[in-house]
Each structure stands twice: as structure tokens, then as C-alpha cells.
Structure 1
Amino acid sequence: MTKHPLPGSERQLAPGSKVVAQCDPSETIQVVVVLRRKDEQQFAQMMKKIEAGAADAKLLTRDELEQRFGASAEDIAKLKAFATQHGLTVVREDASARTVVLSGKIDQFQKAFDVQLQHYEHQSMGRFRGRTGAISVPDDLHGVVTAVLGLDDRPQARPHFRIRPPFQPARAQPASSFTPLQLASLYQFPQGDGSGQCIGIVELGGGYRTADLDNYFASLGVRSPKVVSVGVDQSGNHPTGDPNGPDSEVTLDIEIAGAIAPAATIAVYFTTNSDAGFIDAVSQAVHDKTNKPSVISISWGAPESVWTAQSMKAFNDVLQSAAAIGVTVCAASGDSGSGDGVGDGSDHVDFPASSPYVLACGGTSLQGSGQSVSHEVVWNDGANGGASGGGVSGAFPVPAWQEGLSASAAQGGKQALTGRGVPDVAGDASPLTGYDVIVDGNNTVVGGTSAVAPLWAALIARINGAKGAPVGFVNPKLYKASGACNDITQGNNGSYAATTGWDACTGLGSPNGVKVAAAL
């Protein structure tokens, strides 16, 4: 039987990592297998209309997506036969998400997919199970399986939040902070409370304490929203008690979204920080027929360069499905400026923010009071203070709604976009003008583009609630609507400068909520 390497599954040895031990062949692990879509051509034609913002573009229900464009029963049967042959068991199958989760011993997976799994040690990633080279599949799964995720369990993404440092920074602007409600007022959000909506939030670790949430919402005079914890792949709500860890991300996301849309249900999807966990959690949020989120907020990501091609494609397919059923996905663009923290002197953009199917959210530094913003510039607090992620994708082409745009360089000059431009929009993100939150019992001020994704998600939830229908994939409409965002024209994020119109620091700008609602 011939084996075929799975396209895009090649893994290199991560620079700076070394093999420290062989894996125990009898250890049990779980792996997520992604299958091809039924009727791919028809799906692509339908998506073209949605991506162009065509008036006659038809959205699908979750059930229609499953029936018409899920995984075929035949493909699932082929994979199950292969699993049985190798002694692997099926833990979960989901035709709509096109995923099958397999469980088995490491030895069985090594033989099934022709890989060797070893334990690696890396200075920043710690110890992880990894592999090098490609994953192989037999003849009858060639072209049927599009990704095999979870053989490698290295930490895939990082949260994009920044806690305000205790020292007083050496800059003219005094530090200030805002509650989410004050920002909703400054950004002229339309009236509403997100009634009838569900906001999905994806978290790769940490947890929230109900006491923190209750205290926080009470301090704002807002009723506590209904928060539902959804565990994905053996994960759940596990607060660590460390306010500098992922608890800050989880709590920040819930507090911002919940304060602005308190009548919405907030479904928090907890998973492990690996490419398999991340993709599976977003997929479960998109396909969730119980909570049915109409908008999803993602505050985690990593430079495009650290993803395998199969992982990025599988993730992008999930985000494309979200657009097909009218779910808006807001993703943080990163907190390390135009280099995205890679440190190789080149420019990088963050994924999933660089997917053409998400609303990528960059960061600003803001001054204002009441309903008027007096000064707003690109968030850039210097090398250690953080800056708005943004730039040009090396993985995705220029989408229809960005055609003809160019990126302005900080050194002067403009260059026509050669790939998807990031971000699309922005909002307050500097920790020096950050958000008042309560994490692990402490009042703290947090910033980062992490805060901007739930801010925009809550705005979308308010608009959806008032409209009684989801606005869905918003990018084509926002790019057509001049003046729906406050144009940011000052500052840079390293390599790119803010300018009139779209730029690779703050996108179209920060929201004027009432105008955004009118545009959508």
C-alpha cells in the first residue's frame, strides 16, 4: 500500500529546541483529523458572493452547512475503517465541522501516520511532544484527509494582553483608564444590550471566577450576563490564580463583552494551547447548535511563520464556514508591532488575524471624556511597552474588498498591497489608556489588542440584537462605508505608518458605533 505525504504537514525542528526523550509508545493521546468538504466547487462559488458583499449572497443555516458542505458519510466511513485497522478508537465525529477525533497509543499513531514522536525542550515553549517531516496517509485517504492535528502538542499561540506596568512611563501623556461602558460611550455605540445574542469567546488556558465577574458587573451597575463554560478536548474553566497568566485574558474578554452586551449569553470555549486545540475550539464555537454564537472573539494568535500550512488551511476553512453562516469573527492583531515579536528584523503578521474571513482588530492610544475622543493615535509604547500588530500577509492574497489599497511605510512612501492587509479596524489598546478590570480579586488596568476583539464583538452583538438578525461577514460592507470609523492618521507600529484611509497600523480606524451600525 502506497503512502502519500499530506500536503503542508511538514514540520521543521523549531530553532533552539532539542530532543530530550523518546515518547512512551504506550501513552494514550488524542488526534483531530480534518476531512475534505463535500461539493467544494459549489461552496467556493457561494463564498465568492459573500466575500464580494453581493446583495444576492445567501447565508446558510448551521444545518444547511452540514448537509450540503459537511464531510460525506463515505469519507467518515473510510477514516473509521483506517482507525479500526490501526487499533485507534473514534472519540467524536462531527460531519458539520468535518472533524473526527481519534484516541490511541503513541505507537499506533506513529505506525498509522508514518511519523516518529519525540519529546523536545525549548527555552520559551518548554517541553512538548513533537515530530519532524511530513505526515503520511494511505491511498484511500489521499485527498480525503486535509489535516491531522495534535500529534505535535507544542504551545501554538499567545494571548494578546498587556498589564499596565507599575512604573510611570517616561512620556508626556499621563496614564488614564476607562471602563468598557466609558469606551462604548466615547465610541458612540448604539443603544442596546445584545439581547437574544450569544458571543463566543475562545480561550487557550486559564479561567474565570464567578465572584470576580459578579463584583465587576456590580461595580459598573450592570447585571451579570449569563456566562457558559464549554470544555473542548478535555479542557475547561481552570483559573490558575495568577493574574499575570491566561486568567487575565479570559476575565478581560468576558468583562469587556459582558459589560457592553449584558443581555447576551457569553459562551467561553476552553481548550489546550496547541494548533489542534485552537482550531477545534473555534470549530466547535462556529458549529455550536446549542449556544449558536452570532459573533466570536479571539484574543490569541501567533506569527504566520510558526504555523504549518495544513494548520493554517484547516483554521482558515473553519473561519470561512463562519462567514458562510453569518457568524462575525473578531481577532486581535497582536501586541508586538510590525515584527509580531519574531525578532528576526523582518515584518510579520499574526494569524488568525490575517485570515481574510476575520475582522482583524488593531490598537490605538486614546484620550477623551464623555462622548468625545480628543486625541487618538496608533498604539506604540516602545519596544517593551507594546504596539499595534499590523502589516501584509505572506500567506493570503489581497481580498476583493482591499483591492487597490496600499500600505504606508514609516520611513515614507507607499507600497501597493501584495497580500491581505492587517488590521481591518482598531480600538483603544494601550495599557497606559487601558481598561479597568478585576482579575483574580485584583483591580487592574489591562490593554493589548486582546481588549479590542471583545470590544468590537460586543458592538456587533448590540447591532445584531437591535436588528434581530446577524450582520455576518462585515468586512466588505465596512470597507465600502466611508466614515464609519474614526480615521487614525498619526503614529506608527514600527515599519508602517498611520495615514488617511486604511493603513497597516489601525486599519480603517476605531469605531463610530452608530455609523458602523448604519453601514451594516
Structure 2
Amino acid sequence: MKKRVYLRFISTIAMLASMISIAFGAASTTAQAAALPYSPHPVQVNPVILKTGQGNAQYQFACQAPTAAVRCYSPQQIRAAYSIQPVLNKGITGKGSTIVIVDAYQSPTVQQDLDKFDTTFGLASTTVNIIAPDGLTPFDSADPNQLGWAEEISLDVQWSHAVAPGATIDLVLAKSNQDADLLSVTKYAVEHSLGDVISQSFGEAESCADPKLLVAEHKVFEAAALKHITVFASSGDQGAAQPTCDNSSYILSASTPASDPLVTGVGGTHLDADATTGKYIGETVWNDAFGASGGGYSTIYKRPFYQLGTVKSQWRGVPDVSYSADVNGGVLTVLGFLGTNSGIYIFGGTSAGSPQWAAITALAVQKVHHRVGFINPILYAIGHSRDAYQDKFHDIVSGNNTFVGTDASGNPVTITGYSAGKGWDATTGWGSPIVSQLLSFGW
């Protein structure tokens, strides 16, 4: 008990110290920018997906074969790989906790797709609560932008449920993908204390967000921390790069909101797990033709208190943690709004990791009977303890997140990234979780 109280005290001190350092770090660009309104910028989501064939009676798909050119994983395999199943076996399913998923637009088949996902993989059923504080935009199946967000919704809902099948899911939808609209509904979720943990599977280059919006956004995250609401965000799928504001090319940039020091940024790995049992074999930094783990250093937020002694830069480093993200080793997800192309798809991207980390947090909430709140200081405390770190995280030590792509004119673009190493790095943070051990820590 003393250990838990001590850690929660340290967490509070670290949170306050982070708020102070952020204010100084952002002063040059935002000190005079507190007044609204701010200029919105569209936030794109482009989950990389591949359609699978039909599974057999044992829920086996061709991509689950060891010899498959592109591998995939079911909920049971992911639960095994990250040691989630032992937690579920003890009755810790997230019951009594609520996960808030923030997305834009809508999916007209979100509940039906979740139902099919559950029956396909033998999971307990649940009902998604759909909340649209600013109104629900009619679904346009001819709009690629809306289709991308509908795909993201399916991924976020199904895989948060796969990890925490007993948790309540509140799907909070913005009326558009403008960052101002996404912030509006995130603020609503925090002000109304809708859930214990929030997942945001989207982001943009820091320079694309209006400085006034970043100030307002950070205040929302401060409010979340004070209410002990945990906030996750995916770190991006273009390695050390982010798209330029007009989407014509790429620049070296961290992704916001993951770069906010009051958010836990989630990077991506290539997971190698046993094709039959899902037993963990190993991981490397996700970096291939499909994309790469987002990571790097903020140019807006100063290094927060909890990164002292870890991050050498004077600026906030991201991500904090990571999770399986490669399409080659992606997660199976049901899409029912694509007409004749509806079916089960393989999903990749760091956007898969954010809702699953949120679900892991929901498990912790049930286990300790209270919200765990701002968890970054706890994660870094674990990282600084050699024995605790080896016991609770898979350290990713191989790979980099250099991005190689092309601009809108077809010209090659290379953004040199960062390399993985022992302990924290700007590709996968502290690594991926060993959930049964991580939840044994004094939250």
C-alpha cells in the first residue's frame, strides 16, 4: 500500500512539473495565443489494410499460416503474445471501466461489425455507446476521407474490446476531421468525465496545428490529468516524418497530440509471434513498405520532468511505449460498410496500438479499483528500474524509423530517423508491454 501511495504522489508531482516546463517551452510561439478562435487543419487517417480470405471453422485465416507472405493475428494470438490472457483468466476484463474512443465522422455498421468480430473470434458481446456532442455527419460512402475514418473506428472499437472485453466503450465522434472539431469532442469527453481512459488514433505535424489550438488542447489534457483520466495517442505511421500541411511532401516532425507531455504516445513494432499459439518470439521497429513507427522530438514542448535522465534532448521525446503495428503481422478487423468489398481485413499502423494500450489501462483500473490517471511517470519509473523494466516490457533494440517515400510529384523523399537501442528510444519508447507483469506494478 505504501508503494502505491508513493507512486501516485510522485505521479502528481511529475504532472505539475511537466505543466511548468511546457509553459516555458511553448512560450515563444503561444504566450499571446490564448484567445479563440483558432484556424482548423484537417487530420488525416489512412490505415493500411489488406483483405483476407474466408476463415475456417477454427477461425483460421490464410494469413495466420507460418508460411504466409503477409502474416496476421487474431485476438487470441495478441492476448498470448503480450501476456494479456493470464490477466483475463483471473477475471480482470475491464469490467466497471470505460474506454473513450475519439474519432471523426461515423461508421454506419460499427455495432454490426463488432458483433461479427465477436462471433468470429468467440468473444463476449457488448454494445458500443455512440456519442456525437456536435452532431453526427451523414455517412458518405463515396468520400475516401470518411471511409478512412470509418475503417479507423472499426479498428479502434474492435481491438479495444478484444483486449478489455468487459469494459464499456464510448465512441465519441467529431463532426469532421478538422483538428478543432476533434479537440471539441475530446474536451466534451473530459469535461463530462465520460471514461477512465481516452484513445486518439490520429495526429498531425506540430507545425500544422494552430498554436492557439495547441494551447487549448494542452489545457484539455491538464483537465484530464487532474481528473485522473489517462490519455493515449498514436505516434504516426511515417517514421520520423509527418506529412506537410498541404500533404504534398514530408518533413521531420513529431506528431501531435502524441507529443504533448500529458499524453502517452504509442509507437509501432513488427511483432513475431507463434502462428499457432501466439507465443511471443520477438519484435523490431516497424519500418517497411507499409510504413514506419512514428517517433522523434517535439519542437514545441520542452522535455518533461519524467524524461529527465532518459531523453538527452531538451525537448519532449516520443513515443513513450509501443505495440504491434506492422501490416505484416497486423490485426484482423471486420469492415461491413464497403458493399461487395466488405469482409475481414488485416490492419496495421500505430493507430492499432493506442486503443489496445487504452484497453490495458482499463484492465488496470478494474484491478486497482480506481482510475490510474496520468501514467507516464509510472512508465518511466519502471524504465529506470532494471529489474522492473526487464520484467514488464519487451525492450525493442533493433531497427530505425527513417522514412523513405515520394512527394506529390513522385520525387523521392527521405527523412532520416532514429535508431532503436537499449531502454527508451525515439522509435518505440520503452517498448511493448508484458501485461500480466505490468499490471502487477503499484499503480
User: Does residue 1:183 correspond to 2:89, yes or no?
Assistant: no
User: Does residue 1:260 correspond to 2:174, yes or no?
Assistant: no
| Corresponding residue for residue 381 of structure 1 | 288
| Corresponding residue for residue 79 of structure 1 | none
| Corresponding residue for residue 199 of structure 1 | 99
1:147–1:314 CA contact under 8 A, matched in 2: no
2:41–2:208 CA contact under 8 A, matched in 1: no
1:463 to 364, 368, 373: 364
Q: What do residues 162-190 of structure 1 show as CA deviations (whole Å, max 9, x unaligned)?
A: 21389xxxxx9942111233212210122
Distance 1:237 1:423, change over 3 A: farther
**1:371: Cα distance to partner?**
5.4
Q: What do residues 206-243 of structure 1 show as CA deviations (whole Å, max 9, x unaligned)?
A: 32512211111111111222211101222258473879
Cα distance in 2 for residues equivalent to 1:452 and 1:354 = 16
2:45–2:148 CA contact under 8 A, matched in 1: no
1:513 to 428, 435, 439: 435
Q: What do residues 98-118 of structure 1 show as CA deviations (whole Å, max 9, x unaligned)?
A: xxxxxxxxxxxxxxxxxxxxx
2:40–2:210 CA contact under 8 A, matched in 1: no
**1:262: Cα distance to partner?**
2.0
1:325-404 equivalent positions in 2, closer than 5 A: 325-342=227-244, 346-369=251-274, 370=277, 372-382=279-289, 385-404=290-309
**1:367: Cα distance to partner?**
0.9
2:235 maps to a residue whose letter is S
Cα distance in 2 for residues equivalent to 1:51 and 1:309 = 31
1:391–1:421 CA contact under 8 A, matched in 2: yes
1:50–1:473 CA contact under 8 A, matched in 2: no
Cα distance in 1 for residues equivalent to 2:419 and 2:297 = 13
| Corresponding residue for residue 417 of structure 1 | 313
Cα distance in 2 for residues equivalent to 1:50 and 1:312 = 27
| Corresponding residue for residue 4 of structure 2 | none
1:149–1:275 CA contact under 8 A, matched in 2: no
1:207–1:239 CA contact under 8 A, matched in 2: no
1:79-94 equivalent positions in 2, closer than 5 A: none
1:153–1:275 CA contact under 8 A, matched in 2: yes
Q: What do residues 413-453 of structure 1 show as CA deviations (whole Å, max 9, x unaligned)?
A: xxx21211000000000011100010123111011001000
Q: What do residues 315-350 of structure 1 show as CA deviations (whole Å, max 9, x unaligned)?
A: 111011111111111100000110123376752000
1:236–1:270 CA contact under 8 A, matched in 2: no
1:249 maps to a residue whose letter is E
Higher helix proportion (structure 1 or 2): 2
Distance 1:300 1:147, change over 3 A: farther
Cα distance in 1 for residues equivalent to 2:140 and 2:107 = 4
Name the SS of the counterpart of 2:334 in structure 1. Answer: strand
1:70-219 equivalent positions in 2, closer than 5 A: 146-149=34-37, 152-155=39-42, 157-159=43-45, 161-164=47-50, 174-189=69-84, 190-191=87-88, 192-209=92-109, 210-219=111-120
| Corresponding residue for residue 249 of structure 1 | 152
1:299–1:450 CA contact under 8 A, matched in 2: yes
Rg larger in structure? 1
Name the SS of the counterpart of 2:439 in structure 1. Answer: helix
Runs (4+) of structure 1 moved beyond 4 Å?
49-52, 54-58, 241-244, 343-346
2:323 maps to a residue whose letter is G
| Corresponding residue for residue 305 of structure 1 | 207
Distance 1:391 1:173, change over 3 A: farther
Unaligned 5+ segments in structure 1 are 1-48, 59-133, 135-141, 167-171, 407-415
Cα distance in 2 for residues equivalent to 1:313 and 1:57 = 17
**1:204: Cα distance to partner?**
1.7
**Greater relative contact order, per chain length (Cα 8 Å cut-off, separation 6+):** 2
Cα distance in 2 for residues equivalent to 1:338 and 1:220 = 35
Q: What do residues 81-125 of structure 1 show as CA deviations (whole Å, max 9, x unaligned)?
A: xxxxxxxxxxxxxxxxxxxxxxxxxxxxxxxxxxxxxxxxxxxxx
- Count of equivalent residues: 370
Distance 1:317 1:450, change over 3 A: same
1:163–1:244 CA contact under 8 A, matched in 2: no
2:11 maps to a residue whose letter is G
| Corresponding residue for residue 411 of structure 2 | none
Question: How large is the Cα RMSD of the aligned pairs?
Answer: 2.8
| Corresponding residue for residue 223 of structure 1 | 124
2:279 maps to a residue whose letter is S
Cα distance in 1 for residues equivalent to 2:171 and 2:421 = 36
**1:52: Cα distance to partner?**
4.7
| Corresponding residue for residue 182 of structure 2 | 278
Distance 1:477 1:154, change over 3 A: closer
Cα distance in 1 for residues equivalent to 2:95 and 2:188 = 22
Aligned-residue identity in percent: 32
How does the TM-score come out when normalised to structure 2? Answer: 0.77
Cα distance in 1 for residues equivalent to 2:399 and 2:51 = 22
**1:276: Cα distance to partner?**
2.1
Cα distance in 2 for residues equivalent to 1:365 and 1:154 = 31
